[in-house]
Amino acid sequence: RLCYPPVARHRRAPAESASEVTRARVGVARASGGKRRPVLITGATGTLGRALARACRARGLACELLARAEMDIADARSVADALDAYAPWVVVNAAGYVRVDDAEREPEKCERENTAGAATLARECARRRGRVALVTFSSDLVFDGEKRKPYVETDAPAPLNVYGRTKLAAEREVLREMPTALVVRTSAFFGPWDEYNFVTLALQTLARGERFAAADDETVSPTYVPDLAHATLDLLLDGERGLWHLANAGETTWAELARRAAALFGYDPRLIDARPSRDFARPATRPRYTALASARASIMPTLEDALRRYARDCEHLPRARAAAARAGD
């Protein structure tokens, strides 16, 4: 392991889950021919899938990163065929429908990718009776935002939009089909390797000399994707199961997050236009507060630390600004 101390503390159950945990901890399970069994990652075109593959390679873990053409997670035959072909010791599901507003217009498609897909993976992994573990991801949008302190795993979910409802249904279906699965709730991705996350888009807008508008009445816990990938692998290798919250420690509004990023890169934070969420025409209702924390263990670095490493590693920002940010580290 690279990043975090062990966190496994709960009592192990039963023979089947103990078998999974043993395989997860060693991470070098062998197929009958002696070849290392890989981590099988779905979502090859997505930010999280690619980050997980990077994290596996950094740890020397064999992995296979699959696109939908190679495994359709909502098709039981496709999943079974892929599990037979690749013989993984774990499936990490980073695929799914992520367009929160579009989900209001196409709920069936969102349900297929987020709920049916995750449930199908759980069912097929469970059929292998402890030989294949499963990790899947959920969202802070399973909550309604009525709390004013960070949500933990035991808080009651109450989603306000289609996307959140499909994620909550997926959580329940996965844990019903496979109680030993690991389900990770997370929030508000940003990362150094893609240019379509909120922080990078804000900085690219400022780099063009334009103002950037962001909501000042929605509070989130932004999550640095490399930290999420490594923490997820750590939980997996520790044999953790059930619901976990993983987000960088801290909370902020979207507007404040943009200001902090602007200041870090040498832009004027006053170029950020803080607006109420009602000013943004979005079909999906957003909760006002979805900061996340964990009642199980705190294993993620702070948001401040994550933003500094983002500035150091970001691949999609003007070189001069990025160099200035790195110099200030």
* Positions marked catalytic: 163
Whose tokens are 């021919």? That residue is: 33
Q: How far apart are CA 244 and CA 246, in angstroms?
A: 6
The closest alpha carbon to 183, from 97, 242, 98, 133, belongs to: 242
The closest alpha carbon to 42, from 14, 3, 13, 83, belongs to: 83
Determine contact, residues 139/170, Cβ cutoff 8 Å.
no
87 by DSSP, 3-state: which? coil
State the DSSP string of 162-194.
HHHHHHHHHHHHHHHH-TT-EEEEE--EE-SS-
The closest alpha carbon to 224, from 232, 212, 234, 213, belongs to: 232
Q: How far apart are CA 76 and CA 123, in angstroms?
A: 9
